[in-house]
Amino acid sequence: MDKVRTFTLPKLPYDYNALAPYISEEQLKLHHDKHHQKYVNDANTLFASIDETMKSEAQIDYWVKFGYVKALSKELSFNVGGHMLHTIFWENMAPTNKGGGGQPNGAIADVINKEFGSFNNFKKMFSAAATSTEGSGWAALAMHPCIERPVIVQIEKHNINLMPNFQILLAIDVWEHAYYVDYKNERPKFVEAFWSIVNWDKVNQNLALVK
Protein backbone atom coordinates (compact mmCIF):
# COMPACT_ATOMS: atom_id res chain seq x y z
CA MET A 1 0.00 0.00 0.00
CA ASP A 2 1.27 3.44 -0.88
CA LYS A 3 2.03 5.73 2.01
CA VAL A 4 -0.21 8.76 2.46
CA ARG A 5 1.50 11.77 0.92
CA THR A 6 -0.98 14.48 1.89
CA PHE A 7 -2.61 15.69 5.09
CA THR A 8 -6.31 15.52 5.90
CA LEU A 9 -8.28 17.49 8.45
CA PRO A 10 -8.90 15.22 11.46
CA LYS A 11 -12.44 14.81 12.71
CA LEU A 12 -13.00 16.28 16.15
CA PRO A 13 -13.22 13.65 18.91
CA TYR A 14 -16.43 15.28 20.18
CA ASP A 15 -19.43 17.20 18.81
CA TYR A 16 -19.10 20.88 17.96
CA ASN A 17 -21.26 21.89 20.90
CA ALA A 18 -19.64 19.51 23.40
CA LEU A 19 -17.15 22.01 24.87
CA ALA A 20 -19.74 24.70 25.62
CA PRO A 21 -19.88 26.97 27.55
CA TYR A 22 -16.07 27.14 27.55
CA ILE A 23 -15.81 27.02 23.75
CA SER A 24 -18.99 27.65 21.78
CA GLU A 25 -20.16 25.68 18.77
CA GLU A 26 -19.69 28.75 16.55
CA GLN A 27 -16.12 29.28 17.77
CA LEU A 28 -15.20 25.62 17.40
CA LYS A 29 -16.62 25.33 13.89
CA LEU A 30 -14.79 28.45 12.74
CA HIS A 31 -11.53 27.32 14.28
CA HIS A 32 -11.62 23.71 13.10
CA ASP A 33 -13.40 23.94 9.74
CA LYS A 34 -11.82 27.18 8.50
CA HIS A 35 -8.50 27.88 10.17
CA HIS A 36 -7.21 24.34 10.68
CA GLN A 37 -8.47 23.35 7.25
CA LYS A 38 -6.48 26.20 5.68
CA TYR A 39 -3.21 24.94 7.19
CA VAL A 40 -3.97 21.48 5.80
CA ASN A 41 -4.81 22.88 2.37
CA ASP A 42 -1.77 25.14 2.22
CA ALA A 43 0.60 22.36 3.31
CA ASN A 44 -0.80 20.05 0.64
CA THR A 45 -0.49 22.78 -1.99
CA LEU A 46 3.16 23.21 -1.09
CA PHE A 47 3.77 19.48 -1.36
CA ALA A 48 2.08 19.45 -4.77
CA SER A 49 4.39 22.25 -5.86
CA ILE A 50 7.40 20.25 -4.70
CA ASP A 51 6.19 17.17 -6.59
CA GLU A 52 5.78 19.19 -9.77
CA THR A 53 9.19 20.81 -9.44
CA MET A 54 10.91 17.46 -8.89
CA LYS A 55 9.91 16.48 -12.44
CA SER A 56 12.27 19.03 -13.96
CA GLU A 57 15.93 19.60 -13.20
CA ALA A 58 15.63 23.01 -14.86
CA GLN A 59 12.85 23.96 -12.46
CA ILE A 60 14.91 22.77 -9.50
CA ASP A 61 17.81 24.93 -10.68
CA TYR A 62 15.43 27.89 -11.00
CA TRP A 63 14.18 27.42 -7.43
CA VAL A 64 17.72 27.17 -6.10
CA LYS A 65 18.91 30.23 -8.02
CA PHE A 66 16.11 32.52 -6.91
CA GLY A 67 15.80 31.41 -3.28
CA TYR A 68 12.50 29.55 -3.53
CA VAL A 69 13.85 26.62 -1.53
CA LYS A 70 14.35 28.85 1.51
CA ALA A 71 10.88 30.38 1.18
CA LEU A 72 9.27 27.00 0.65
CA SER A 73 10.93 25.51 3.72
CA LYS A 74 9.65 28.37 5.87
CA GLU A 75 6.09 28.13 4.52
CA LEU A 76 6.03 24.36 4.89
CA SER A 77 7.23 24.58 8.49
CA PHE A 78 4.52 27.13 9.29
CA ASN A 79 1.62 25.20 7.76
CA VAL A 80 2.65 21.70 8.85
CA GLY A 81 3.31 23.07 12.33
CA GLY A 82 -0.16 24.59 12.34
CA HIS A 83 -1.73 21.30 11.34
CA MET A 84 0.16 19.24 13.90
CA LEU A 85 -0.36 21.63 16.81
CA HIS A 86 -4.07 21.96 16.12
CA THR A 87 -4.40 18.17 16.03
CA ILE A 88 -2.78 17.98 19.47
CA PHE A 89 -4.98 20.82 20.72
CA TRP A 90 -8.28 19.14 19.77
CA GLU A 91 -7.22 15.93 21.48
CA ASN A 92 -6.05 17.84 24.58
CA MET A 93 -9.66 18.73 25.34
CA ALA A 94 -12.73 16.78 26.40
CA PRO A 95 -16.29 17.63 27.44
CA THR A 96 -16.78 17.99 31.16
CA ASN A 97 -19.17 15.04 31.16
CA LYS A 98 -16.49 12.91 29.51
CA GLY A 99 -13.70 13.62 31.98
CA GLY A 100 -12.57 17.07 30.86
CA GLY A 101 -11.12 19.45 33.43
CA GLY A 102 -10.36 18.94 37.08
CA GLN A 103 -7.06 17.93 38.61
CA PRO A 104 -4.49 15.95 36.63
CA ASN A 105 -4.39 12.24 37.34
CA GLY A 106 -2.03 9.33 36.89
CA ALA A 107 1.58 9.73 35.83
CA ILE A 108 1.23 13.33 34.65
CA ALA A 109 0.11 14.34 38.14
CA ASP A 110 3.32 12.87 39.57
CA VAL A 111 5.44 14.62 36.93
CA ILE A 112 3.78 17.98 37.58
CA ASN A 113 4.07 17.69 41.36
CA LYS A 114 7.72 16.69 41.15
CA GLU A 115 8.70 19.50 38.78
CA PHE A 116 6.44 22.35 39.89
CA GLY A 117 5.60 21.45 43.49
CA SER A 118 1.85 21.39 42.88
CA PHE A 119 -0.75 21.56 40.15
CA ASN A 120 -1.62 25.09 41.28
CA ASN A 121 1.99 26.21 40.71
CA PHE A 122 2.03 24.59 37.28
CA LYS A 123 -1.32 26.11 36.33
CA LYS A 124 -0.09 29.60 37.25
CA MET A 125 3.11 29.22 35.21
CA PHE A 126 1.47 27.61 32.18
CA SER A 127 -1.30 30.23 32.17
CA ALA A 128 1.30 33.00 32.37
CA ALA A 129 3.13 31.53 29.38
CA ALA A 130 -0.13 31.34 27.42
CA THR A 131 -1.38 34.84 28.22
CA SER A 132 2.00 36.51 27.63
CA THR A 133 2.77 34.87 24.27
CA GLU A 134 3.53 37.75 21.95
CA GLY A 135 1.18 38.04 18.98
CA SER A 136 -0.02 34.71 17.64
CA GLY A 137 1.23 31.48 19.12
CA TRP A 138 0.89 28.68 21.61
CA ALA A 139 1.86 27.58 25.09
CA ALA A 140 2.85 23.97 25.57
CA LEU A 141 4.16 21.50 28.10
CA ALA A 142 6.84 19.34 26.52
CA MET A 143 9.25 16.63 27.61
CA HIS A 144 12.26 14.72 26.29
CA PRO A 145 13.44 11.31 27.56
CA CYS A 146 17.05 12.46 27.80
CA ILE A 147 16.21 14.62 30.83
CA GLU A 148 12.78 13.26 31.81
CA ARG A 149 11.56 16.61 33.07
CA PRO A 150 8.75 18.75 31.66
CA VAL A 151 9.32 22.24 30.33
CA ILE A 152 6.81 25.00 29.58
CA VAL A 153 7.43 26.57 26.19
CA GLN A 154 6.01 29.49 24.24
CA ILE A 155 5.69 28.74 20.53
CA GLU A 156 5.51 31.77 18.26
CA LYS A 157 3.22 31.28 15.27
CA HIS A 158 3.36 27.50 14.72
CA ASN A 159 7.05 26.84 14.38
CA ILE A 160 9.32 29.21 16.34
CA ASN A 161 10.93 28.17 19.65
CA LEU A 162 10.06 24.49 19.22
CA MET A 163 12.55 22.16 20.86
CA PRO A 164 13.60 19.32 18.53
CA ASN A 165 12.43 15.85 19.58
CA PHE A 166 10.53 17.14 22.61
CA GLN A 167 7.15 15.42 22.89
CA ILE A 168 4.31 17.91 23.39
CA LEU A 169 2.15 16.73 26.27
CA LEU A 170 -0.31 19.62 26.46
CA ALA A 171 -0.88 22.61 24.19
CA ILE A 172 -3.19 25.60 24.03
CA ASP A 173 -3.75 27.74 20.96
CA VAL A 174 -3.67 31.44 21.82
CA TRP A 175 -4.05 32.84 18.32
CA GLU A 176 -7.01 35.21 18.39
CA HIS A 177 -8.90 32.93 16.02
CA ALA A 178 -9.02 30.36 18.85
CA TYR A 179 -11.11 32.52 21.17
CA TYR A 180 -12.25 35.81 19.61
CA VAL A 181 -15.89 34.79 19.00
CA ASP A 182 -16.34 33.84 22.66
CA TYR A 183 -13.92 36.09 24.52
CA LYS A 184 -13.14 38.97 22.14
CA ASN A 185 -9.67 40.25 23.11
CA GLU A 186 -9.70 38.82 26.63
CA ARG A 187 -7.18 36.04 26.22
CA PRO A 188 -6.77 35.41 29.99
CA LYS A 189 -10.47 34.44 30.23
CA PHE A 190 -10.02 31.89 27.45
CA VAL A 191 -6.92 30.46 29.12
CA GLU A 192 -8.79 30.12 32.41
CA ALA A 193 -11.70 28.40 30.62
CA PHE A 194 -9.28 25.93 29.02
CA TRP A 195 -8.55 24.33 32.39
CA SER A 196 -12.19 23.23 32.63
CA ILE A 197 -11.87 21.04 29.54
CA VAL A 198 -8.31 19.67 29.65
CA ASN A 199 -8.25 15.98 28.77
CA TRP A 200 -5.76 14.65 31.30
CA ASP A 201 -6.16 11.08 30.05
CA LYS A 202 -4.82 12.19 26.66
CA VAL A 203 -1.99 14.09 28.33
CA ASN A 204 -1.05 10.85 30.08
CA GLN A 205 -1.06 9.05 26.71
CA ASN A 206 1.29 11.71 25.34
CA LEU A 207 3.54 11.30 28.39
CA ALA A 208 3.72 7.56 27.74
CA LEU A 209 5.19 8.31 24.30
CA VAL A 210 8.18 9.95 25.99
CA LYS A 211 9.13 6.79 27.81
pLDDT class of 2 with cuts at 50, 70, 90:
low
| pTM for the model | 0.93
The domain made up of 96-210 is a member of CATH 3.40.50.2300: no
Which ranges in the chain are annotated with CATH 3.55.40.20?
96-210
The per-residue DSSP string of the chain comes to: -PPP-S--PPPPSS-TTTTTTTS-HHHHHIIIIIIIHHHHHHHHHHHHHHHHHTT-HHHHHHHHHTTHHHHHHHHHHHHHHHHHHHHHHHHTB--GGGT-SSS--HHHHHHHHHHHSSHHHHHHHHHHHHHT--SSEEEEEEEETTTTEEEEEEEETTTBSPPTTPEEEEEEE-SGGGTHHHHTT-HHHHHHHHTTSB-HHHHHHHHHHH-
Of residues 58 and 128, the one with the higher pLDDT is 128
- CATH of the domain spanning 25-91: 1.10.287.990
Which ranges in the chain are annotated with CATH 1.10.287.990?
25-91
pLDDT tens readout for residues 60-117? 887 888 788 888 899 999 999 999 999 999 999 999 999 999 999 999 999 999 999 9
